[in-house]
């Protein structure tokens, strides 16, 4: 293991590469990264790094976002098969037809989408700025929001905005959490606070003490002084940083409906391994490539988001 880490360090220097990792990757992957963050922070980093190469320890849409923002850099993925069920729930041709069927609406898309969907979008958002992005538009401006129905409904409830048409997509990991199991855990740990990602279903959001992006959940867990026990309702990779930053606190990963399936884990994120990261840096493959017309159109919608959430 040590040898692999050293190999990655050496290759990183040789290639002038930076390693960006999402909180859902394995702890050992996060530990070799130069920066670990949520989708917004990772896209901000990707837009500003001086490195010639970005190795993205995350899923495909994250690597694409980095390439869209830094087209002259080489963006490597440890595993091209690391996709996202939410991004898959919104194919560009179907989304284009949906937009065409509902003209005159501003299109807001969650960052968990393909470059082609972003190219059809007016403003991208992430879970940490979705409310802010929607509220940046005049109240009477009709909106299409895609692809996550749970995040869309969460925003609709917070903003009270009725003119939001929401695409019917979801993340297979976040849809699997069980309200019943969370309520049982709350009975077992009455002092525990429930921290939830907005991709979860509404009944779970309603029993939560805090709802936010992975970075938001981490910040809350570290800064909160009202208790020392937390039920974390998102992919459990985020517990790695929570335990590091607040070693005296207890973090309980919320189980899925079927506690034998392991389906609260994002199998795509878990495809990222140190071995694959070392191989990618050595071979300078696999590399994200996006046709320039798609990239340029997608860049506009991401830049609009970055401008609003500066």
Choose which of 85, 126, 128, 178 interacts with ligand SF4 (CB under 6 A).
85
Residue 141 CB, shortest distance to ligand SF4, in Å, is 27
In angstroms, rounded to a whole number, what is the distance separating the alpha carbons of residues 99 and 120? 9
Nearest residue to 230 via CA among 196, 266, 179, 181: 196
Choose which of 127, 150, 196, 264 interacts with ligand 13P (CB under 6 A).
127
Contact between 237 and 266 under an 8 Å Cβ cutoff? The reply is yes
The answer for 16, left when phi > 0, alpha when psi is -120 to 50, beta otherwise, is: left
Count of residues touching ligand 13P (by CB under 6 A): 10
154 is in an annotated binding site: no
Residue 296 CB, shortest distance to ligand 13P, in Å, is 24
- The answer to the question of residue 85 lying near ligand 13P (CB under 6 A) is no
DSSP notation for 221-271: HHH--S-SEEEEES-GGGHHHHHHH-TTSEEEEPPBSSTTS-TTS-TTGGG
Q: Quick one: angle between helices 292-308 and 39-48, nearest 10?
A: 110
Choose which of 213, 264, 294, 301 interacts with ligand 13P (CB under 6 A).
213
Residue 199 CB, shortest distance to ligand SF4, in Å, is 6
In angstroms, rounded to a whole number, what is the distance separating the alpha carbons of residues 239 and 205? 19
Query: 85 touches which of ligand SF4, ligand 13P, none (CB within 5 to 8 A by kind)?
Result: ligand SF4
189 is in an annotated binding site: no
Residue 38 CB, shortest distance to ligand 13P, in Å, is 3
Would you say 15 or 43 has its CB closer to ligand SF4? 43
Using CB under 6 A, list all residues that contact ligand 13P.
38-39, 112, 126-127, 171, 197, 199, 213-214
């Amino acid at each position: 293991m040590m040898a692999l880490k050293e190999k990655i360090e050496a290759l990183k220097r040789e290639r002038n590469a930076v390693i960006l990792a999402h909180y859902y990757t394995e702890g050992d992957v996060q530990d070799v990264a130069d920066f670990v963050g949520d989708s917004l922070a990772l896209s901000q980093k990707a837009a500003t790094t001086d490195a010639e190469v970005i190795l993205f320890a995350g899923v495909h849409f994250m690597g694409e976002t980095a390439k869209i923002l830094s087209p002259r850099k080489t963006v490597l993925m440890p595993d091209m098969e690391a996709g996202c069920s939410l991004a898959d729930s919104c194919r560009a041709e179907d989304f284009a037809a949906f937009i065409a069927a509902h003209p005159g609406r501003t299109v807001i898309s969650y960052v968990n989408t393909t470059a082609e969907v972003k190219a059809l979008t007016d403003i991208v958002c992430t879970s940490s700025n979705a409310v802010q992005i929607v509220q940046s538009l005049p109240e009477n401006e009709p909106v299409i929001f895609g692809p996550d129905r749970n995040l869309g409904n969460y925003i609709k409830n917070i903003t009270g905005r009725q003119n939001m048409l929401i695409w019917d997509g979801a993340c297979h990991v976040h849809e699997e959490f069980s309200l019943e199991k969370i309520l049982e855990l709350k009975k077992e740990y009455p002092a525990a606070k429930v921290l939830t990602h907005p991709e979860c279903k509404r009944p779970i959001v309603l029993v939560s003490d805090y709802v936010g992006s992975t970075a938001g959940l981490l910040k809350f867990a570290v800064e909160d002084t009202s208790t020392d026990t937390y039920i974390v309702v998102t992919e459990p990779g985020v517990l790695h940083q929570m335990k590091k930053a607040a070693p005296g606190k207890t973090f309980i990963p919320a189980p899925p409906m079927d506690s034998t399936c392991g389906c609260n884990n994002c199998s795509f994120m878990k495809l990222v391994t140190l071995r694959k990261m070392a191989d990618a840096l050595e071979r300078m493959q696999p590399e994200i490539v996006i046709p320039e017309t798609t990239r340029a159109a997608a860049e506009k919608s991401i830049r609009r988001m970055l401008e609003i959430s500066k």
